[in-house]
Structure 1
Amino acid sequence: MSVTAPGDLGFEGRVVLVTGGASGLGRQYSEDLARAGAHVMVNALAGDADRRHEAESFVDALNREGHTVALAFGDVGIEQEAVCTVTRTVETFGRVDALVNNAGVGVTGALQDVTTDQLRTSLEVNLLGTAWTMQAALEHMRTQGHGRIVNTGSGVGAFGAPGAFPYIAAKAAVFGMTLSAAADNADVDICINTVSPIAYSAMGTGFTRIDPALDEDRLHARHISPVVMYLAHERCSMTGQALHAAGGRVARIFTAMTGGYSSEALTATDVAEHLEQIRDASTYFALANSREQYDHIPRTPRSIS
């Protein structure tokens, strides 16, 4: 039973796996996708009895509404469990049309203070977990000839912040990993993009300390879900992109290169004396791929003999 708003994107018959899909932002995504007609596999950590019961109750409630939802317990930070989550989706529904990599863990601390175990935990869940589920899903998507993958980045991964080195390092890498995977699968109807959300959740707290004027309701996960649903939909044709989503606003996040300064006899003194021009962002280039860097390298005119 689909309850998609008239004119909105429908997912009738499509199969979508949402990691970390029983709580926080993932819970909202799972609800909205199911109500739009998708067959949803909700991945969740088994955790303790209360956590398992909460996930089971959530999935049961959606099924009682007439939707098609299944539950796969597993920790995406463990390779075998991440792969099994995708395998379970295909075994249950016959295929996987879209993957929403939402599962994550917040690990804070400055680089000089964190332990190797803290770094490893953040990388295994936030980065490797995303890579493992993508890799497993892509095997099926490439055979199908289509698929959509939505990875979860973070504004702090894109722009930096103090005191959260393990989390930021992993989330920054997600942007690059998405670009790479998108380029590697551009030969098939597979689009891989990143969403960078700001919303209240167990991991997203403390916004009032950043800006006391923020309206808590505007930071509800329901304002993020439409962006994720678009990126997971067959109508999405862009790939290798990152979209910021917060409070009903959607914007593109990208890496740019300024016009800069050039000299055939560049010296370190030149760099120091022209730093303002080098950093000036009034002229910039948003490169579509790394190859375009070479288009901006000054050319030495060839002499004609």
Structure 2
Amino acid sequence: MSTAEYRFDGQVALVTGSGAGLGLAHARLLAERGAKVVINDISSADDGRPLADIVSEQLRDEGLTAVSAPGNVGVEAESIGLVRQTVDAFGRIDILVNNAGAGGTGTTQEVSTQTFAETLNVHLFGTFWTMREALRHMRGQGYGRIVNTTSALGVFGAPGSAPYVTAKAGVVGLTKAASLDNRDLDIRINALAPVAATGYAKAYFEKKPDLDVRYLQASIVSPVMAYLSHASCELTGQTLAAGGGRAALLFSAAVPGLSSRTLSIEEVVAGLDQVTATEGFRILDSSVEQYDLLPRFGD
């Protein structure tokens, strides 16, 4: 199938945090492929105009279909309002791309409760609020695609970023839960872990001379988002890394481990290599499958 066939004609997409960077690249690609896009951002340009208004106007000037929707995803009523504005503008919502985010640094032992809570509100609760509202519409129409933005930090951790790591790990869990809750209909819910030299990450990548920032553009991430947003997407409940010209699955797995009828502390210590050995790992589709891994000792 040629790339020209991967279209979004007649579909409506809400992309949060799409005034610049990754969100703008996502929204632009969807619009160029035929989607009606709703641009959301809380930032303003130097002249005070809302960035979302400027971007949506620019897209319309290019012959694309776009409107702006004001609202902060970190505030429940405003987050829900973004979905409602989308439906009011175009009559439906087919695609939700939860891209909006903010920083969240600090060690676990030092970060303030306020910083921790604010970070979770934007990244985790914001994703939950928009997704819950969108799913009510998507379930009514029997179709939907949701792409939630996580991070490799949320999958693998990182020092000095406890709020961000926790929020992004929560997005992975929330994505899995929502996908399992909606498999009775043609609704696909996945997570995207992007790598791009934009926003907060730009300064970090500029200090890494071994990385070719030419391949860390937002536009190289967006095609993976577009696949996850497309009607042909077969994945659900998965997390894909995208960036630097690479797309790859990120996953949690269970290993065979150590089995013993009398499992004691001493046996755990003695068999730790077996407990942690990764050979023969299995990727579980849901937690229910863990019971298949329990040993059968017999009588």
Could you tell me the TM-score, scaled by structure 2's length?
A: 0.96
Q: 1:56: how far off? A: 2.2
Matches of 1:226 and 1:79, distance apart in 2: 29
Matches of 1:54 and 1:160, distance apart in 2: 32
Matches of 1:55 and 1:148, distance apart in 2: 22
Matches of 1:6 and 1:287, distance apart in 2: 32
* Structure 1 segment 154-193 matched on structure 2, within 5 A: 154-193=151-190
Pair 1:273–1:12, CA change in 2 (3 A): same
Q: 1:60: how far off? A: 1.0
Q: Which amino acid aligns with 1:143?
A: G
Structure 1 match to 2:33: 36
* Structure 1 segment 237-248 matched on structure 2, within 5 A: 237-248=234-245
Q: 1:57: how far off? A: 2.2
Q: What is the aligned counterpart of 1:215 among 200, 212, 220? A: 212
Q: 1:207: how far off? A: 2.4
Q: 1:202: how far off? A: 0.9
Q: What is the aligned counterpart of 1:145 among 142, 162, 165? A: 142
Q: What is the aligned counterpart of 1:204 among 201, 205, 229? A: 201
The 10-residue stretch of structure 1 (53-62 or 89-98) with the greater mean CA deviation from structure 2: 53-62
User: Percent of aligned positions with the same letter in both sequences?
Assistant: 45
Matches of 2:49 and 2:155, distance apart in 1: 33
Instruction: Could you list the structure 1 runs, at least 4 aligned residues long, displaced by more than 2 angstroms after superposition.
Output: 5-8, 46-57
Check the 8 A contact 1:46/1:74 in 2, yes or no.
Answer: no
Q: Which amino acid aligns with 1:148?
A: R
The reply to whether residue 18 of structure 1 matches residue 15 of structure 2 is: yes
Q: What is the aligned counterpart of 2:287 among 283, 290, 295? A: 290
In the alignment of these two chains, the number of paired residues is 297
Structure 2 match to 1:121: 118
Q: Which amino acid aligns with 2:29?
A: D
Structure 1 match to 2:60: 63
Q: 1:52: how far off? A: 3.3
CA offsets, 1:123-176, max 9 Å, x none? 100000000000110110000000000000100100011000000000000000
Q: 1:203: how far off? A: 2.2
Q: 1:35: how far off? A: 0.7
Q: Which segments of 5 or more consecutive residues in structure 1 lack a partner in the other structure? A: none
Matches of 2:147 and 2:50, distance apart in 1: 27
Check the 8 A contact 1:102/1:151 in 2, yes or no.
Answer: yes
Q: Which amino acid aligns with 2:244?
A: G
Matches of 2:70 and 2:120, distance apart in 1: 20
Q: 1:264: how far off? A: 0.7
Q: Which amino acid aligns with 1:137?
A: A
Q: 1:49: how far off? A: 6.2
The 10-residue stretch of structure 1 (233-242 or 173-182) with the greater mean CA deviation from structure 2: 233-242
Q: Which segments of 5 or more consecutive residues in structure 2 lack a partner in the other structure? A: none
Matches of 1:135 and 1:57, distance apart in 2: 28
SS in 1 for 2:199: coil
* Structure 1 segment 80-95 matched on structure 2, within 5 A: 80-95=77-92
Q: 1:47: how far off? A: 4.8
Matches of 2:179 and 2:41, distance apart in 1: 26
Check the 8 A contact 1:22/1:30 in 2, yes or no.
Answer: no
Matches of 2:64 and 2:44, distance apart in 1: 25
Structure 1 match to 2:128: 131
Matches of 2:48 and 2:195, distance apart in 1: 24
SS in 1 for 2:254: strand
The reply to whether residue 52 of structure 1 matches residue 32 of structure 2 is: no
Structure 1 match to 2:105: 108
Check the 8 A contact 2:254/2:283 in 1, yes or no.
Answer: yes
Structure 1 match to 2:69: 72
Matches of 1:50 and 1:165, distance apart in 2: 35
CA offsets, 1:255-292, max 9 Å, x none? 01112111111110111111111111122111111111
Matches of 2:193 and 2:65, distance apart in 1: 28
Check the 8 A contact 1:262/1:298 in 2, yes or no.
Answer: yes
Over aligned residues, Cα RMSD in angstroms? 1.4
